[in-house]
Amino acid sequence: MSTALDFQRLDLIFQSRPDIIDGIKRAADSPGRIALFNEIASHVCDQLQNNGEPALKRRKVDPTIDTNGTQRSAVASGNAADEPVLLHVKEISVSVPQRKKFEICLTQNFVYARAPGTTAPIPGITYAWEDIEFLFYLPVPEKAQVQHNYVLFPRGTCLPSRATPSTVEPLVFTVPATAPKEGIIGGAEASSAAAVSDTYKSLFHWALNRRLRAAGNAIDLVSADTRKFHSVVRQPHRPNEKAVHVSGFRGSKDGYLFFLENGILWGFKKPLIFIPLNRIAAISYTNILQITFNMVVETFSGDGEPNEDLEFGMLDQQDYGGINDYVKRNRLQDGSMAEQRKAKLQLAENRGPKKGADDAEAGNVEGSTELEKAQLEAEQHLQDDEDEDEEDYDPGSEGDSEGSGNSSEEEEEDGNDPEGEEIDEEEGEEEERQGEEEAEEEEEEEEEGEEEDEENAMPEPITESVKRVKAESVKKTTAVPVRQGWATMASSRVKDDVDMEEKFEIV
């Protein structure tokens, strides 16, 4: 049995997967494993030849189902490294799947990246033209210099799947707004490309569209259009340029939303997400605050699976109008007030036995949307204002009653009425002044009557007259009219308050 790997058969079987061949080379570290890999390669090669077609002429495998549940054709089984390079562009910054500068190479059936000075494609950055599903040309946000990203989504990679995550990642590479330098472009079609190489944009637009059409792939290269959507938030680095993105978060990762003519793209960090318009079930707005809000996109999963929600948070309130216009223009359903979202509030109310009004209100707020929470909060503020007005209301200002006076007097005696002390003291002083004035008037009337009596009667001894006048004056001073209601409260307050200065009338 041979002790060396049968590279001829391995290359024939895994032409489109050089990464698998590299893995086999690393794993074949013993004679037993080498023999096993050779037997597997021999068996697979025999099966391909028994199907009635030469193995070298097989370009495709049978249709398969991708991770999104849609039928597609697999990547062409040719080896990208064996095909002549029609065009290559050096010093291109790739950010996804790897962040590094590579050479972008275009062949008859593939586009791939390779390290400078090498000829082998980088594993995981090789894509067949017929397998490209979406292609975008978008500006890079928050850069002082104008730059754009080319984004290529292979089939089955635009939407993440929790059940069967895709092993293939999209391709994202960045180009500046300037013209390519001399010596950057090479390949068999370099002379034709030179005529359209005024900028990197014109070069790659021409090359990508040319190769896609040659491979029979009719997808269009989509760019952002400020006439269809743009953000109203001003860019500090380029204030005179309208932004076509909206900044936000997905979980703890920041990124940018692009509202395009064929769907919504989230980039440019892993994982990239593109939601085609035909995959959007509804769009809802949640966590609406004074400055920001969240947007939830409900997507169709397919294959009978339940729909999946993708939430993007911390979107600026200034962009709500533009996003809402985009939803209406594309006739997308607004699910903010959907019945299933309303049901959350009802379920929260019936979560358990009611313990009181406070528990019920807490359950309502927990299960309600942000708009309902704001409404409940506004109603609560109004209720608090009414309660404060009721507390400031003075029942004694509209009239006195015996019952209210007695209850107030009892509260003051118990020391439980700190409010209204100042009012009670003023009323007590007023009542005291009125009583003193009445006592003085009565004293004057009696003195006038005594003078008339003295005129008609015999004069009494001086000592007897002085004693009688003193006794009558003391008696009249202490004889204060009987008070009821608030008057009794005021008098008792003055009597009991030891800190108040006492005023005596000296006769």
pLDDT tens digits, one per residue of 72-102: 433 444 789 999 999 999 999 999 999 999 9
pLDDT tens digits, one per residue of 9-45: 787 787 767 778 878 888 888 888 888 888 888 888 7
CB atoms inside a 10 Å sphere around CB 469: 13
Q: Where are the domains of the chain?
A: 8-48, 87-223, 245-348
Give the helix, strand, coil percentages of the chain, each rounded to 5: 40, 20, 40
Are the C-beta atoms of 242 and 322 separated by less than 8 Å? Answer: no
Predicted pLDDT of residue 335 = 82
Predicted pLDDT of residue 486 = 45
Alpha-carbon 89 to chain mean position: 40
The contacts found for 461-465 with CB under 8 angstroms, 24 or more apart, are none
CB atoms inside a 10 Å sphere around CB 258: 22
CA–CA dist 335, 101 (Å, integer): 43
DSSP 14: S
Concatenating the DSSP letter of every residue in 191-253 gives HHHHTT-SSHHHHHHHHHHHHHHHTT--PPEEE--TTT--B-SPPSSSTTS-B-EEEEEETTE
Sign of the C-alpha dihedral, residues 339, 343, 344, 346?
A: positive
Query: Cis ω on the peptide bond leading into residue 259 (within 30° of 0)?
Result: no
Query: Whose CA is closest to 106, among 122, 140, 83, 124?
Result: 83
pLDDT by residue, tens only, the chain of 507 residues: 446 888 777 877 877 677 788 788 888 888 888 888 888 888 887 776 655 444 333 333 333 344 344 434 334 447 899 999 999 999 999 999 999 999 999 999 999 999 999 999 998 999 999 999 999 999 999 888 999 999 999 998 998 777 777 789 999 999 999 999 999 999 999 999 999 999 999 999 999 999 999 999 999 999 999 999 999 999 888 888 999 999 999 999 999 999 999 999 999 999 999 999 999 999 999 999 999 999 999 999 866 678 899 999 999 999 999 999 999 999 999 887 665 555 444 444 444 444 444 544 444 444 455 656 666 777 777 777 766 665 555 555 554 444 444 444 444 444 445 444 555 555 666 666 776 677 676 666 666 655 555 555 544 444 455 455 455 554 444 444 554 544 444 444 444 444 455 555 554
Are the C-beta atoms of 112 and 126 separated by less than 8 Å? Answer: yes
Are the C-beta atoms of 148 and 177 separated by less than 8 Å? Answer: yes
CA–CA dist 401, 281 (Å, integer): 69
Predicted pLDDT of residue 229 = 96
Are the C-beta atoms of 189 and 87 separated by less than 8 Å? Answer: yes
Same fold for the domain at 87-223 and the one at 245-348? yes
Q: Which CATH code, of 3.30.420.40, 1.10.1370.40, 2.30.29.30, 3.20.20.110, is assigned to 245-348?
A: 2.30.29.30
CA–CA dist 270, 96 (Å, integer): 8
SS3 389: helix
Architecture of domain 87-223: Roll (2.30)
Paired tokens of 23: 């893995």
Predicted pLDDT of residue 161 = 73
CA–CA dist 393, 395 (Å, integer): 6
Alpha-carbon 202 to chain mean position: 38
